[in-house]
Amino acid sequence: MIDAAVAIMDSDGADALTFRSLGRALDVDHTAVLRHFRNKNDLLLALADRLLREAVSAIEPSNDWRETLRVLGHSVRNACRTHPHVAVAVAGRTVRSEAEFAGADLVIGALLSAGIEGAEAASYYRALVDVALSYAALEAAIATLPADDLAADRLAWSREYQSVDPDRFPNLASVAEHLPDVDDQDQFEVALGLFIDAIEVRASR
C-alpha cells in the first residue's frame, strides 16, 4: 500500500495522492484504505517512515565517526532525490518509528565517538538532522519545479550573476565567474563537511 502511495507521488506529485487515488491504484474501494490509516496525517507519517527505512536500512556504523555521518547524510539525500515529492511532503515530520530511532542511534553513536556527550550530543544530533533534511528537502523541491523554470534558475548563475554592477556589488562580482561551476554535489559536500568539521573542532575543546 505504501509502495503504491509512493508510486503515485513519484508519478503525479503530492497533490495527486488521495485515499481515492490510492484505492484506484490498489483496485479497492477507498474505504478499505481508511481501515489502515485514520487520516491523511497517518498516511504521510507512514510515507516518511518508508523514506527513512530506505535511507538507513543498509547502513552500519563505521570505526570513523566522520565517515558514519557522511554516509548517512548521503543516504538520506539519495532517498529524498529518488522520491522528491515524498521528501517535500514529509521532510519536517517527526516519525517516531523504528527507522527514525535507528537513524538517531547512528548519529548519536557517531557524536559520542567524536567526544560529544550529554546535552551537546542531543543538540548536535537535532542540528545535524535538520541540516541534512533541510538540504535534501530543498533539493527535492527544486527537482519538482517545471523544467523551464528550473532551467531559467540554473542559467541565472552564468547570466544575471555575471552581469552585476561591480561598483554596487563588489564582493559578489569578485567571485561571480566561479558561481556557474558550483554544482549540487559540491554544495552538499561543502555543507556536510563544514558541519562535521565544526563538530570535530568543538569536540577538541
For the chain (length 205 residues), average pLDDT per consecutive 10?
Answer: 92 89 88 84 93 89 93 90 90 90 95 95 92 85 88 91 95 94 80 91 86
Cell digits for 136? 535534501
Question: Distance between CA atoms of 71 and 26, rounded to whole angstroms?
Answer: 35
- For 27, counting Cβ atoms within 10 Å of its Cβ (0-12 exposed, 13-18 middle, 19+ buried), the class is exposed
- Under DSSP, the state recorded for 181 is G
Question: Distance between CA atoms of 198 and 205, rounded to whole angstroms?
Answer: 11
Output the pLDDT for position 14.
86
Sign of CA dihedral 127, 130, 47, 35: positive
102 and 43 in contact (C-beta within 8 Å)? no
Cell digits for 74? 548521503
> Which residues in 39-70 are b (16+ Cβ under 10 Å) and which e?
eeeebbbbbbbbbbbbbbeebebbeebbebbb
CATH for the stretch 37-146: 1.10.357
Sign of CA dihedral 30, 33, 39, 41: negative
Output the pLDDT for position 185.
67
pTM assigned to the model: 0.83
Domain ranges of the chain: 37-146
Output the pLDDT for position 133.
83
